[in-house]
Amino acid sequence: MGFAAMKLPALPITADPGLDENVKDLNPELIAEVINRVIDRETAARFQVYLNTCVHCGLCSDACHWFLSNDRDPRFSPVGKVKQTLWEMMRRRGKVEPEFIKECSRIAQTECNVCRRCSMYCPFGIDIAYLLLTVRRICHELGIVPQFLQDTVNSHAVTLNQMWVKQDEWIDTLQWQEEEARSEVTTAAIPLDKEGAEVFYSVIAPEPKILAQLIGNIAQIMAVAKVDWTMPSLDGWDNSNMAMYSGDFEIMGRVERAHHEAAFRLKAQRIVMGECGHAFRGAVYDGPKWLGWTEPPVPVIHAVDFYHELITSGRIKIARKFDEPVTIQDPCNIVRGRGLGAKLREIVHATCSDVRLPEPGFEHNYCCGAGGGTINCGPPWKTSRVKGNSVKAEQLAATKAHIIITPCHNCHSGIEDIISGYKLGMHVKFFSEILMQTMEIPDDLRAD
């Protein structure tokens, strides 16, 4: 190490069978073989150059909500996380103890959201998120993944969706929501497996499972906007991708391929996806890159982009404005990940009369703390996750808004946890929920 280690307080230990039980099968030789295989075969220039170019300046620290929220504990800074994982692995040429791999999984999987804010603060633009994703890959290859997260990946592998939704449950849910939507808008329909539609709409598996009303919402919106759309009845309807975050890139690729092929088979002109950040990232970036495409074969549009198009083109008219004070959450994967911050603000201003923007905003917004697969690591890690984002609570409280518009499922859940953890007294809403309350339903379509 060079000099005496810093005295830092012990961190609380979290039990997780995906880590605790699975490390019992490991030994240093096996670990070294896997680490060296991943580094030799799956990494190249970026990995080596990033590790060798980092001059240990620590300027990335102020980017990270984990660092800032944990009283600037250096173990949570981006470079601190790389030090505790990759530096040690490289120093020991991969020959590390199973207990060490457990810590690597905890750090890379539950104490980093791979939100990429640090790359905006590092003077060299080092992709620290990529380095920690490589740590996740190594841990996955060794079978060390938080249990709850691995369950969603198993579900992806078996059912091609994240939540063990069976095909009859999927179709039932769509038909149910179609009925619900019809009770508001007479022409609302969810056409299944229609060929050549303008829009192929996909959702994340939690929607049919626990947020089915959002599907009913979109059916109403599509009817009012007179969009020619469809949803698939078969596999490929789920655009979420937990395998992307656990390091199981093979399953990630399978899931993305199924999603894109479903749209391709139905000859859809474009894919519109619901309000989710990581799903967009998987469909547009990580999936295609793994599958060898520079761009997705069918263009993918995020909900924010789609709503912006509907509102600015006049296909949806706004009848009244939402008047409670609102603020917005700039989801990492669509703002840092797609530059949709400006469009998001435009649609919020179009539908809300009292908008209180957060500081910092746009690409500099703090991650919600839930993304990157961390909330999917489940209840064991919730305390750590909420503790790791007090800066978010401060940022939201400073806006003095009542409602936080979160156009991303992870942000929605993560900020809900922060609201209750820090007793902010605020509420979260998806943008579609705001649109439902503000959009004009023409008289001839309104059900009475």
Partner 1 sequence: MYAFVSGPLVWIAFVVFVGGIVYQYVTMVRAAKKDKVYPYMSAEYGLRSIAHWIIPFASKNMRMRYETTIVTFAFHLCLVLVPIFLTAHVAMVSLAWGPKWATFSDRTAEMMTIAVILAGVFFLVRRWMLPEVRYVTYASDYLLLAIAVAPFVTGFIAHRQWFDYETMVVIHMISGAVMLMAIPFTRLSHMLFFPFTRAYMGSEFGAVRHARDW
Contact residues toward partner 1 (CB under 8 A) are 1-3, 6, 43-50, 52-59, 61-63, 67, 72, 74-75, 77, 79-80, 83, 119-121, 123-127, 285, 289, 294, 335-339, 362-364
Burial group, residue 12, by CB count within 10 angstroms (0-12, 13-18, 19+): exposed
- 80 vs 208, which CB is nearer to partner 1? 80
- 68 vs 266, which CB is nearer to partner 1? 68
**What letter does residue 386 receive in the DSSP assignment?**
H
**Which positions ≥6 away from 57 have C-beta within 8 Å?**
123
- 42 vs 172, which CB is nearer to partner 1? 42
- 294 vs 313, which CB is nearer to partner 1? 294
3-state secondary structure of 446: strand
Min dist. Cβ of residue 73 to partner 1 (A): 8
Query: What is the CB neighbour count within 10 angstroms for residue 46?
Result: 13
Min dist. Cβ of residue 358 to partner 1 (A): 15
Q: Contact 214/274 with Cβ under 8 angstroms?
A: yes
CA distances for 190 relative to 142, 172, 354, angstroms: 43, 12, 34
Min dist. Cβ of residue 278 to partner 1 (A): 14
Q: Contact 286/252 with Cβ under 8 angstroms?
A: yes
- 56 vs 423, which CB is nearer to partner 1? 56
CA distances for 36 relative to 87, 133, 169, angstroms: 14, 16, 44
Work out whether the CA dihedral 246, 163, 111, 368 comes out positive or negative.
positive
Min dist. Cβ of residue 74 to partner 1 (A): 3
Measured between alpha carbons, how far is 146 from 23 in angstroms, rounded to an integer?
12
Min dist. Cβ of residue 46 to partner 1 (A): 5
Min dist. Cβ of residue 430 to partner 1 (A): 22
Min dist. Cβ of residue 44 to partner 1 (A): 4
CA distances for 333 relative to 257, 279, 280, angstroms: 20, 9, 7
DSSP string for residues in 204-236: -THHHHH-THHHHHHHHHHHHTT--EEB-SSS-
- 51 vs 211, which CB is nearer to partner 1? 51
* Single-letter residue type at 23: V
Query: What is the CB neighbour count within 10 angstroms for residue 249?
Result: 20
Q: Which of 423, 425, 380 is nearest to 402 (CA)?
A: 425
Min dist. Cβ of residue 121 to partner 1 (A): 4
Min dist. Cβ of residue 394 to partner 1 (A): 17
- 335 vs 418, which CB is nearer to partner 1? 335
- 284 vs 352, which CB is nearer to partner 1? 284
- 82 vs 405, which CB is nearer to partner 1? 82
Min dist. Cβ of residue 97 to partner 1 (A): 21
Run of H or E including 200 = strand 199-202
- 283 vs 352, which CB is nearer to partner 1? 283
- Residue 161, CB half-sphere, CA atoms under 13 Å: how many? 22
Min dist. Cβ of residue 261 to partner 1 (A): 22
Min dist. Cβ of residue 13 to partner 1 (A): 21
- 148 vs 285, which CB is nearer to partner 1? 285
CA distances for 168 relative to 240, 346, 359, 407, angstroms: 19, 39, 45, 28
- 53 vs 269, which CB is nearer to partner 1? 53
Measured between alpha carbons, how far is 279 from 293 in angstroms, rounded to an integer?
17
3-state helix, strand, coil in the chain (%, to 5): 55, 5, 40
**What letter does residue 84 receive in the DSSP assignment?**
I
Q: Which of 130, 136, 127 is nearest to 107 (CA)?
A: 136
